[in-house]
Chain A
Amino acid sequence: MMRAGFLLLLAANCAFAQIQYSDILKSPAENWLTYHGDYSGQRHSPLTQINRDTVRNLVPKWTYHFGGAARLESTPVVADGVMYVTNTNEVDAIDARTGRQIWSYTDDRARRSDVNRGVAILGNAVFFVTADGYLVSLNRTTGGILWHKQYADVKKGYYATLAPLALKDRILLGVSGGDSGMRGFVAAYSPSTGEELWKFYTVPLKGEPGAETWGEFDPQWGGGATWMTGTYDPELNITYWMTGNPWPDYYGGGRRGANLYTDSVVALDADTGKLKWYFQFTPHDTHDWDAESIPVLVDALYRGKPRKLLIDANRNGFLYVLDRVTGQYLEGHPFVKLLSWATGIDASGHPIEVRDMEPTAAGRVVCPSSRGATNWMSPSWDPVNKLLFVPALEQCDQYVSSMRTPEPMHGSMAGGGGPVNGQTGKFYLRALDPFTGATRWEYGMTGLADMWAGSVTSAGGLVFFGDDQGQLVALNTATGADLWHYNTGQLLTASPMTYSVRGKQFVAIASATDVFAFGLFEPAKPSTTPKELRIGGSSITAHDRGRPSAGRAGKPSTTQEPAGKNTPGIQN
């Protein structure tokens, strides 16, 4: 309590430097303040400097290397000209205009080393999760530790990879671990102390609503992980979270029933965590089709009426449109051709399943593959053409089941899926019209179907995405015309974003080991070096340092003040 009081006192001294909830509501623009850029999950930026005409002049501006990284999955977050990117158990703050490091924080005591997808920002703090389930709050300007609190226990099968979601005055988190047994949850924490404010479990206990969909299965190991950041509608005050597969992944004999609320979207009251409604995409999943693709929130005229919609291109191969006020199913369409487990979606939103599609001991070919028709790689929305751009994978798998319930927390999924006769799948970026199911255009990718890269759209009429050969590509959103590409030379396992500093727009993407930032070409100017002096102990006096008050009166901050003459503040 004392510490919280002290922090509040200091925070009051520099309110100008804070990233407020109201700022996040205005993102993205110059800033990109959340994993998705905003709360809607649309990944659409209003920036227009890089557009269909100028993109031909897009060139690399800088590269930032993460020493020791092997698989960055982070979407960079940018605030006031500073970029925050994560690696496993690490956050680095980078000058977003030059790619120079400002600080780096590593938790070298973490007991796991899984991937990480990024940070949240609120106030003057950066939040991220360690792989072993700690929520860490760092000072945004210095990288100093504010606090460090365990929120999920590895001894209960949990680990953590997602970017936190800063929402009003709380930090929302989910958990990983659904492939070896655990009980998924979404929870909210205090940004000043890490104290838990509410928690919603995705697998009900015996006696709770939904428990009847599990038979005798122990809910402690039911799965329903929540490993991708949710979205949020501020008007409805509802946050939407996707849930992962039931466990064990490939054998459902021990968990007879629909297995609520796995492979679902859950709509939670953002203040209490209470379930407002849910919609299950894949009942009683036995193919590891986590519903972790992003629930994109779109307001549109739907059949002539303005409606609040939730659109999801699901791992199970269908593109869904729901009413996000009520959860009512409106329509659904297949978005891949290789889809064999269901013939369609009925009027109530249930899949019309084909018989005998469960994995067997001998193996059974089912489409889509266990990687899904899409996965966690971000889709993006084009509000002009009303199109959702989805990385879609055409692939079937040979699904094998061990037909028994394995021991929890030993990494066993009671089977698995693998390529049929060594056939790798093929990725497409598809421009989907969710209201007809039509593919307006598509971009086929060469490669071995290794990639995990998503997309971003901009008001410049472009969609940027990572292809299956390590290339960042820009297409015309309306036509799919191929306008620009750049070979990073590395596998892409993250989604791109865009931001602006000092009036210059950038597009950035994390590759396996680096962050690449691109901007419009400008002819190099000869550099003028300032006079540089090096002296020993007299130039900067105690008075300049303001000691003893320097550290007390102020608080480190990253500010976006007008870069006018004689105005201290951020100089970007």
Chain B
Amino acid sequence: MTRTLTFVLLTASVCLAQDHGQGPRTSVEPVNPFTGQKQAIDAGERRFKQSCAACHGPEAEGGRGPNLAENPDLQTMSDGQLFHTIQQGIPGTAMPPSNLPDNDTWEVAAFLRSLNDPISENPVAGDPEAGRKLYYGAAHCSDCHAIRGQGGFLGSDLSNIGARMTAKQLRQAIINPDASPHIGFEPVSVTRKDGMEFKGVARNNSNYSIQIIDTKGHLHMFDKSDLKQIVFDDKSFMPDNYRQTLGPDGINNIMAFLAQQVARPGTKRPRPGQANK
């Protein structure tokens, strides 16, 4: 119910149910040598635009073929299965063999991974130190969002955000925050029957009770029958003008800083066919 924005975005991105024709599993799973490498990802993107975008869209957002960004089916494929699908196609569907050479196939696969893997596992353009200064300073991110205990409480905790969002999801969350519902962080003002008013965010809400964290950080758990009025604000506390106020460099810098925020630094999302070490 009150999982974070990340969860909302991830579930919202489920948008295909097409068989992707998983390739055969071998006893030793091949591993893509290019995963997370900027040069190879860029090359893969160019190759994708030439060979794949006609069906899957220029940003892999989907068209005649399925969306391949933030795609749960793709995320659960092993490197070998992804490679096989790109190179051999999916028999019985409109997905033809690409017949790309092995190297190019791995590059395309690395590009597709970059659209699905968390930002912490991908190259980022910005300067994380400049991003840190913005986060705790001029951009006021830390007024609401805590990282390892430093920061506010009216927005989601970002201590593990680098492991939870792709680059695209994170960019969207920064520049267009009201595109997704703010479940767990909806601004709310409640008035008790005795006239006392409480403002904050609703961590949970049902017909009979509401749980809010107020602007001072106190948790309140009300019965609805003890309340006179509730006012929800559809617009979140998150400013919606970061694109203008921070500019492309500022946003890249904040993203570079957030990409480093991982609860378990150095770990990667486990991939099928690979030991999760």
Contact = CB atoms under 8 A, between A and B. Distances in A.
Q: Which of B144, B208, B213, B219 has the most CB of A within 10 A?
A: B219
B34 interface: no
Contact of A558 (B191, B216, B219): B219
Nearest to A550: B215
Contacts of B217: 14, 141, 554-557
Contacts of A108: 163
A531 interface: yes
B220 interface: yes
A564 B142 CA distance: 33
A410 interface: no
A552 to B, nearest CB: 7
B262 to A, nearest CB: 8
A98 B231 contact: no
A343 to B, nearest CB: 50
A402 B263 CA distance: 43
Q: Which of B143, B189, B207 has the most CB of A within 10 A?
A: B143
A501 to B, nearest CB: 9
A109 B264 contact: yes
B153 A556 contact: yes
Q: Which of B188, B206, B221, B224 has the most CB of A within 10 A?
A: B221
Contacts of B184: 103
Given A540-B233, A550-B143, A545 B154 contact: yes
Q: Which of B226, B227, B232, B264 has the most CB of A within 10 A?
A: B264
B211 A95 contact: yes
Interface string A451-479: 00000000000000000000000000000
A109 B271 CA distance: 11
Interface stretch (A40-48, A143-151, A324-332, A424-432): A143-151
A139 B151 CA distance: 12
A534 B202 CA distance: 13
A98 B276 CA distance: 38
Interface residues of B, number: 68
Contacts of B235: 536-537
A3 interface: yes
Contacts of B152: 550-552
Given A82-B219, A535-B233, A100 B206 contact: yes
Given A102-B2, A145-B157, A537-B234, A10 B221 contact: no
Interface string B22-52: 0000000000000000000000000000000
B229 interface: yes
Contacts, number: 215
A548 interface: yes
Interface stretch (A174-182, A254-262, A522-530): A522-530
Given A531-B229, A536-B233, A536-B235, A544 B267 contact: no
Contact of B153 (A109, A141, A531): A141
B243 to A, nearest CB: 17
A235 interface: no
A569 interface: yes
A570 B221 contact: yes
A532 B233 CA distance: 11
A107 interface: yes
Contacts of A558: 218-219
A97 B219 CA distance: 14
A531 B276 contact: no
A142 interface: yes
Contacts of A566: 194, 196
A100 B234 contact: no
A139 B146 contact: yes
A527 to B, nearest CB: 6
A531 B234 contact: no
Contact of B143 (A7, A134, A537, A552): A552
A134 B187 CA distance: 34
A41 B276 CA distance: 38
Contacts of A569: 218, 220
Nearest to B265: A148
Contacts of B228: 530-531
B241 interface: no
Interface string B148-174: 111111100101100100000000000
A104 interface: yes
Q: Which of B151, B233, B237 has the most CB of A within 10 A?
A: B233
A527 B209 CA distance: 11
Contacts of A540: 187-189, 199, 231, 233, 237
A7 B151 CA distance: 11
B127 interface: no
A134 B267 CA distance: 14
B232 A533 contact: yes
Nearest to B226: A571
B3 interface: yes
A428 B2 CA distance: 41
Q: Which of A142, A533, A548, A556 has the most CB of B within 10 A?
A: A142
A37 to B, nearest CB: 22
A539 B233 CA distance: 7
B2 A559 contact: no
A104 B199 CA distance: 22
A142 B199 contact: no
A551 B219 contact: no
B233 A545 contact: no
A570 B154 contact: no
Interface in A76-130: 81-82, 95, 97-98, 100-104, 107-109, 111
B1 interface: yes
Given A532-B229, A544-B215, A571 B234 contact: no
A13 to B, nearest CB: 9
Given A144-B157, A145-B157, A536-B233, A551 B146 contact: yes
A557 B227 contact: no
Nearest to B194: A565
Given A100-B209, A109-B263, A144-B157, A568 B204 contact: no
Given A548-B143, A571-B222, A536 B234 contact: yes
Interface in B249-270: 263-264, 267, 269-270
Given A147-B148, A148-B263, A95 B221 contact: yes
B224 A142 contact: no
Contacts of A56: none
A20 B223 CA distance: 28
Contacts of B270: 109
The 6 closest A-B pairs by CB, nearest first: A551-B152, A144-B157, A537-B235, A145-B159, A556-B217, A556-B153
21 contacts: A3-B149, A6-B150, A10-B149, A14-B217, A100-B1, A100-B211, A102-B204, A139-B153, A144-B159, A146-B148, A529-B224, A530-B225, A533-B230, A537-B233, A540-B188, A546-B216, A547-B144, A551-B142, A551-B151, A557-B218, A570-B221
Given A144-B146, A145-B263, A556-B219, 6 more contacts: A100-B221, A144-B157, A527-B207, A527-B224, A551-B142, A551-B151
